[in-house]
Amino acid sequence: MQGKDFLCYNNAEFNPKKFSLVKECMAVLRGKTILVGVSGGIAAYKIPNLVSMLVKQHANVHVLLSRHAAEFIPPIPFEALTGNRCLVDTFERTQPPEIHHVTLAKKADLMIIAPASADIIGKLACGIADDMLTSTVLPCRCPILFAPAMNDRMYQNPIVQDNMAKLRQYGFIQIDAVTGHLACGDDGPGKMPDPEILYQYIERELAAPKDMKGLRVLVTAGATQEALDPVRYITNHSSGKMGYAIAKAAMLRGAEVVLVSGRTALKPPSFVQVEPVVSAADMFEAVTRLAPQQDIIIKAAAVADYTPAEVASEKMKKKDGELSIPLKRTQDILAWLGEHRQPGQFLCGFSMETENMLENSRKKLAKKKIDLIAANNLKVEGAGFQGDTNVLTLISEKEERPLPLMTKEQAAMALLDTILEMRE
């Protein structure tokens, strides 16, 4: 699926019968053929976990072992996980006869070599193809990732560094080794990242068409915290999940993303620049500083409208009777963006309502001088804060586009589809 066929929300009249397509898309690697090359190294023990992750996303996975890798982990676990023959020998015979290294290379949507030993890196840098793994790499025309893993002294050897640089020059994508405790007992660089990190690199390459490549996108997310004293603050129930989902979706579609985030319990998406903030004033400063460079700004954060007029320098002690806290208005970030819009810049806001959602959101759209409002009603089941789903209505000057109940990841993709359509 490419372009507008990627998700099925591009028509103003959403067809619920097509919603199954959205569910299919959320298995982000469905139908993709991924080759996993394993070279000799103790880190090979991590790769069955990676393969399991890929299979759970409905990828068609083929594992290729170097002869040395087969000394660390045998083919049987990989065959059980993938349902495919795990190949070691270039000249392994099957029925019907097949030139495996070429056939697999033609099928592949992506290849990853993990762990990538100094030996395999050196061979590939010189174009050597003397086993099943190296012989399959050379005819590949798909993205090829490699994750170096070795002793720190080997990793820092200038010959190995030159060979890695040569692979990057040839278009290979390097997944940098991390610093940690190595199998030899040393501590230093050369440790292969965990399978979750390797998976994120694969997901970035394959999970979505790169229809936002070249675009710069700013997303705000989460709640702000307005201090009363060194102990207490005023905030709201926002979890940040919607904004984080939008930032990740834009990254997967090729955009350069900056996420301005209030404090949340969420782990930031990989490959996204994160600007952490606390208060509404902090968010205003970050957004106004970054806004001029952005093509698209999506303001999904729940920013406090009011902040304490004074912040106590010491903890306020409990007293008898009532307590009154004077508040003052915070700076309106969305209104500032509308007034200072750059030429060609697209602005999208969010509107959380409990009544008169369409009327209030249309007023906000006009008042803030923006292009699109993503509105939801806190009283609608499945919408609103904290949960993993949302029910959005996308409101522009010309139309209202209601979306059904979706996961926030699906809603993020739907929102980006609409934004790209409106920018055409």
* Average pLDDT in the chain: 90
Choose which CATH entry (3.40.30.10, 1.10.645.10, 3.40.50.300, 3.40.50.1950) describes domain 29-206: 3.40.50.1950
Give pLDDT, residue 5. 38
Q: CB neighbours (10 Å) of residue 285?
A: 16
Confidence of residue 19 (pLDDT cuts 50, 70, 90): very low
CATH 3.40.50.10300 in the chain, residues? Answer: 216-304+327-423
Q: Locate tokens 């999208």: which residue? A: 348
Confidence of residue 384 (pLDDT cuts 50, 70, 90): confident
Give pLDDT, residue 91. 67
Give pLDDT, residue 378. 83
Mean of the pLDDT values across residues 6-15? 39
Mean of the pLDDT values across residues 260-287? 96
Decide if domain 216-304+327-423 falls under CATH 2.40.50.1070: no
pLDDT at 3 over 80: no
% helix, strand, coil for the chain, step of 5: 35, 20, 40
Give pLDDT, residue 29. 92
For residue 126, indicate whether it is catalytic.
no
- State how far the Cα of 374 lies from the Cα of 351, in Å rounded to an integer: 6
The one catalytic residue in 25, 140, 142, 184 is: 184
Confidence of residue 14 (pLDDT cuts 50, 70, 90): very low
Mean of the pLDDT values across residues 40-62? 95
Mean of the pLDDT values across residues 32-45? 95
Print burial letters for 34-66: b (CB count within 10 Å at least 16), e (below 16).
bbbbbbbbebbebbbebbebbbebebbbbbbbb
Range of weakest confidence among 3-17, 25-39, 68-82, 179-193 = 3-17
Give pLDDT, residue 88. 86
Q: Are 129 and 135 in contact (CB under 8 A)?
A: yes
Single-letter amino acid, residue 242? M
Give pLDDT, residue 318. 87
Residue (of 27, 209, 197) closest to 112 by Cα position: 197
The alpha-helical segments, DSSP class H, found in 45-114 are: 47-56, 69-72, 75-82, 100-107
Tell me which DSSP letter residue 268 carries.
P
Give pLDDT, residue 17. 37
Residue 318: strand, helix, or coil: coil
Single-letter amino acid, residue 17? K
Tell me which DSSP letter residue 80 carries.
H
Cα–chain-centroid distance for residue 117? 28
Confidence of residue 20 (pLDDT cuts 50, 70, 90): very low
Residues in the chain: 424
Give pLDDT, residue 94. 63
The alpha-helical segments, DSSP class H, found in 238-349 are: 241-252, 280-290, 333-339
pLDDT at 98 over 80: no
Task: Give residue-wise pLDDT tens across range 320-333.
Answer: 888 899 999 999 99
CATH 3.40.50.1950 in the chain, residues? Answer: 29-206
Task: Give residue-wise pLDDT tens across range 204-227.
Answer: 999 999 999 999 999 999 999 999
Range of weakest confidence among 117-126, 159-168, 275-284, 349-358 = 349-358
Q: At what angle do helices 408-423 and 241-252 cross, to 10 degrees?
A: 60
How far is the CA of 161 from the CAs of 122, 190, 261, 279, in angstroms? Answer: 10, 12, 36, 44
Give pLDDT, residue 360. 93
> Encoding tokens for residue 142?
């798909």
pTM: 0.88
Give pLDDT, residue 350. 95
The maximal CA–CA distance of the chain, rounded, in angstroms, is 88
Beta-bridge mates of residue 148: 116
Range of weakest confidence among 85-99, 185-199, 286-300, 316-330 = 85-99
